[in-house]
Chains A and B, each alone.
Chain A
């Protein structure tokens, strides 16, 4: 280590911290401790509410999809029943018409 480096070592010796620094750190630490617990509970509550909202929304969405699907199925069944009825009616008419022609 040369002379300049020795000078640097002397120049860069640690400086004493301000006398009030330790008290401020300890005061902040004390004031933070209960706050951090309060923040933790607030965060947990927020997460819980958000989870409930999301799962509720998802359940409602699923139920709505099922309801719409069931309604569409009923409509299709009704349409099939009407078609079936119309075809039966037509079939009966054709059969009656055929019998009349044979006579």
Chain B
């Protein structure tokens, strides 16, 4: 199908690198891997640029491929039988990065412990601000399934936050005057 939109690859990288990198980082929990995934996603976009019909289509395509490549990377890691966090610490000797917001950082850590489909749905909901229908289109899944992943993921994350983020609960209780 003919389309008038003329994509500028460099501009697309400028506009969407933060989105693609953040999705990959939060899906995998590994900064190095997230950079590799982001590179691969943009190089794949370059190969498919003639099929992209609009700026919105580019954004949709990038989200979809970023989630899909991150899930592939996680599966490859599972096949290799290495625990993600142990590997990062042992092989890269990485220290935990200073967080802008410690609560935010800890919520990210808790998100990494959720099952992959729930993590993807929550990320698209709260990072990308997508509706369940848009998430369903991005993940190529039924809307009911996405809603279920969102509900279960949110419930699980809330429960984990209540256990692991005691100070968060205390702060909230203090703020409420309990």
Instruction: Give me the interface of A with B, judged by CB distance under 8 Å.
Output: 3-5, 7-18, 21-22, 24-26, 28-29, 32
Contacts and interface: CB of A to CB of B under 8 A. Distances in A.
Contacts, number: 78
Counting chain A CB atoms within 10 Å of each CB, the highest count among B46, B122, B161 belongs to: B46
Interface of B: 9-10, 13-14, 17-22, 25-26, 35, 38-39, 42-43, 46, 101, 103-105, 107-108, 111, 122-123, 126-127, 129, 154, 157-158, 161, 172
A17 B18 contact: yes
B158 A4 contact: yes
B107 to A, nearest CB: 4
Contact of B21 (A3, A11, A18): A18
Nearest to B46: A29
Contact of A25 (B13, B105, B129, B154): B13
* Shortest 5 CB-CB contacts between residues of A and residues of B: A11-B104, A17-B21, A17-B17, A11-B107, A12-B127
B43 A21 contact: no
A21 B108 contact: no
A5 B126 CA distance: 8
A3 B172 contact: yes
